[in-house]
Structure 1
Amino acid sequence: MKNLVLRSFTGVIYVALIIGSIFLGPYSFLCLFSIITVSCLWELSGLLQAMPSSQETQTNPKSSKGTLGPRLMACAGGLVLFVSSYLFASKTCGIGILSLYLLFVVFVLVAELYLKNDNPIQELGKLFLGQFYIALPFSLLNFLAFDPTFDPTFNLSSSYSPMFVGSLFLFIWLNDTGAYIVGVKFGRHRLFERISPKKSWEGFFGGLFFTLSCAWLVYNLIPDIAFYHWLALALIVVVLGTWGDLVESLIKRTLGVKDSGKSLPGHGGFLDRFDSVLLAVYGMFIYVNLFIRS
C-alpha cells in the first residue's frame, strides 16, 4: 500500500512537470528536457560502464578504469546536442551551432587514442549508444516543438508549438494505461515473452484502443490537422512506443538489472519512464515532416 501511494505521488508530480514544461513555453521546455536528457544518459552510461570492458578486466578488477569520466562525457555530449538542436530549431542560431556537437564527436574519437583503454571500440560503443539511443531522439523533440513556418525574430514563443510534443506524451500515457488495464484483466497471449514476460497482445490492443480514442479527442481540440493524421500519429506512437519499451527491457535484461535507476520513487529511473518516448519520437518526427509540414 505504501509503495502504491509513493508510486502514485511520484506519477502525479511527473505528469505535472512534463505537461507544465511543455505548455508553459519554450524556456521551461528547454530546462526540463535538458535535465531529462542528462539524467537518462547518466543512468544508461552508469549501467554500461559497470560492464567489464575486456577479459583482462574480468580477471583483474583493479585494471578497470573509473566510470565517472565516461559518464560525464556521455552527459556532456547529450547536453550539447540537445541545446544546439534547440537553438537551431528555434532559429535562435543558424545550422552552424550544430558543429559544436561535431567537435564533441571528434574530441571523443581523438581522446580515445590517449586513454589507453583495454577495449577502445567497446568504450566508444558504450558512449555512442547513449548518443543515438537517448540524446538524438530527445534532440528531435525540438524540431517537433518549433514550427519552421513561423518567424521567431521578435518573439521566440511565436514559433513554439506544443501540440505535437504534448500529443506524443499524451498518446504514450494513454497507451501505457490501456495496455496495463486490459493486460491485467484479459492478458493471455504473450507479446514478447523472451524480453518482457508480462506484456500481452490483449494489452497491446487495449493500449491501441485507448490511444486511437484519444486521437479523436485531440482532433476535436486541434481540428486544423486532419483526423487521419492524428490516427496515424497515434498508431505510430503505439507501435514504436511498445518497441521502445521492449528495447529498454532488452538492455536491462542483458545487463542483469531490474530498473535503470532509483531517481523516481516507485517508478525506477528516468530511463524507465521515458523508454517508450525514445523510438516514438523518430516515427512522429518523420511523419510530421513528410506529411503534415511538407
Structure 2
Amino acid sequence: MPAGGAVPATPGGSGSPGASSDAGTTVAPSGAVPAGAPAGTGAAGGGPADPAPRRSRAGRNLPAALAVGLTLGISCIAVLLFVPKAFIGVVGVAVGIATWEVAKRLREADVLVPRTPLIAGGQAVFWLGWPFGASGVAGAFAATVLICMVWRLFDHGLNTAPRNFLRDTAITVFTLAWIPLLASFAVLLLLEDPAGNLRVLTFMILVVCSDVGGYVAGVLFGRHPMVPSISPKKSWEGFCGSLVFAIIGGLLTVTLLLEANSMIGVVLGVGLVVVATLGDLIESQIKRELGIKDMGTMLPGHGGIMDRLDSMLPSAFVSWLVLSTLL
C-alpha cells in the first residue's frame, strides 16, 4: 500500500523482471504498437489494438483499485459500527489468507516454512487475544514457534537431516510475528472499553488518510525518491502529503469519535504515517527479494490480501500502544 506516495515511473528504472510493483520500471502494455507502425495496427499486425487497462501514474488499475477499496472500507465501517465483535472474524479470515499467501510465495522461492502449523498457530495467536488478552497472544505465539521448529526439524522424516533449517525457521518466526502477532493488537484494541470499535475505526481511517495523502501528493508533486533502492516510486513529497492528511484526520477522529484531546490525534497521525510507510517498504523489499510483483491476486487493482495489510499491521500495534497509554 503506497503510504509514502509515488514519483512517476521512468523508462529504464531500477528493478528486476517480476519484481514488486514498487520497482519503478515502465512496462509497455500488451498489444502496444511499435514506433512507425501504421495507425490502427495491433500487436498481431492486422486488427485494432486491444485497449489497455486504465492505469494511474503510480501503476495501479485505478478504477478497480477504487472499487475494491471503497467496498472494503464501507464493509469494515458497517461491521465496526453495527456488529463490532464480528470484526474479529473478518480480520481473522484476512490474517489466515495473508499468512497462506506469504507462505505460498516463500515456498515458491524454496523457503520451506511449515505452512500447516504456521497458519493454524497464527489463527491461535490471533483468536486467543479475545478471551485471554495479551497473555493469550503471547502464550499462543511461543507455542506456535516451538511447534514450527519441531515440525521443520522432522518434516522430511527421522532419517533425513533438514536442509536450511536455521533460515527456514527464522523466516517462519518472522512471518508469525509480521502477520498474526501484529494483527492481534487490533483485537486487543477492539476489546478495550469504552468504545473499542471506535478506536479501531480511528486507526483504520488514519491509515487510509496516510495512503490517500501519499498517493495524491506523490502523483502530483513527487520528484524526490525516498528510498530508491527499495521503492523508487515512493517520494518525500508523498510522505509529506501522508503527514498532512493523517494529522488532519487524527485531529478530527480523536476529537469527534473518541472525544479526547486533539493532540493525541496529532501524535497518533504522525506515528501511523511513519509505521505505515515502513510497513510498506518492508513488504516491498520482501517482494523484491522474492522477485514478485504482488503477494496474491485476490483483490483487483491491489494484489493480494497481504498487499492491503502491509501498512495496517504495524499500525494496529502503534494504535494500541498510543491509545492505551494516552486515553
TM-score interval for Structure 1 and Structure 2 normalised by the shorter chain: 0.7 to 0.9
Q: Whose relative contact order is higher, 1 or 2, with alpha carbons under 8 Å and at least 6 apart? A: 2
Instruction: Name 1:115's counterpart in structure 2.
Output: 155
Structure (1/2) with the larger helix percentage = 1
1:84 to 2:128 alignment: yes
User: Which amino acid letter does the alignment assign opposite residue 115 of structure 1?
Assistant: D
On the 8 A contact 1:49/1:126 being kept in 2, the answer is no
Instruction: Give 1:47-86 correspondences, 5 Å limit.
Output: 47-53=105-111, 70-86=114-130
**Which whole-Å CA distance do the structure 2 matches of 1:86 and 1:13 have between them?**
26
**Which whole-Å CA distance do the structure 2 matches of 1:85 and 1:183 have between them?**
38
Instruction: Name 1:206's counterpart in structure 2.
Output: 241
**Which whole-Å CA distance do the structure 2 matches of 1:32 and 1:183 have between them?**
31
User: Which amino acid letter does the alignment assign opposite residue 285 of structure 1?
Assistant: W
On the 8 A contact 2:210/2:242 being kept in 1, the answer is yes
Name the TM-score, length of structure 2 as normaliser. Answer: 0.75
* Structure number, greater radius of gyration: 2
Question: What is the aligned-residue identity percentage?
Answer: 30
Q: Give how far 1:105 is off.
A: 3.0
Gaps of 5+ in 2: 1-52, 55-60, 157-161
1:139 to 2:184 alignment: yes
Q: Give how far 1:99 is off.
A: 4.0
Instruction: Name 1:61's counterpart in structure 2.
Output: none
On the 8 A contact 1:25/1:160 being kept in 2, the answer is no
On the 8 A contact 1:84/1:98 being kept in 2, the answer is no
Q: Give how far 1:71 is off.
A: 2.4
On the 8 A contact 2:148/2:172 being kept in 1, the answer is no
Instruction: Name 2:44's counterpart in structure 1.
Output: none
**Which whole-Å CA distance do the structure 2 matches of 1:171 and 1:72 have between them?**
34
Q: Taking structure 1 as reference, are residues 97 and 248 closer, same or farther at Cα in structure 2, changes over 3 Å only?
A: closer
Gaps of 5+ in 1: 54-64, 151-158
Q: Taking structure 1 as reference, are residues 240 and 210 closer, same or farther at Cα in structure 2, changes over 3 Å only?
A: same
Q: Give how far 1:95 is off.
A: 4.6
On the 8 A contact 1:183/1:206 being kept in 2, the answer is yes
Name the TM-score, length of structure 1 as normaliser. Answer: 0.82
RMSD (Å) for aligned C-alpha atoms: 2.2
Which is worse superposed, 96-105 or 272-281?
A: 96-105
1:104 to 2:144 alignment: yes
**Which whole-Å CA distance do the structure 2 matches of 1:266 and 1:230 have between them?**
30
On the 8 A contact 2:121/2:140 being kept in 1, the answer is no
**Which whole-Å CA distance do the structure 2 matches of 1:146 and 1:126 have between them?**
30
Question: How far does the alpha carbon of each residue in 1:137-179 deviate from its partner, in whole angstroms, 9 at most, with x for none?
Answer: 10111111112xx5xxxxxxxx662122111110111111111
**Which whole-Å CA distance do the structure 1 matches of 2:136 and 2:239 have between them?**
42
1:35 to 2:35 alignment: no
Q: Taking structure 1 as reference, are residues 96 and 6 closer, same or farther at Cα in structure 2, changes over 3 Å only?
A: closer
**Which whole-Å CA distance do the structure 2 matches of 1:51 and 1:144 have between them?**
35
Q: How many residues align?
A: 264
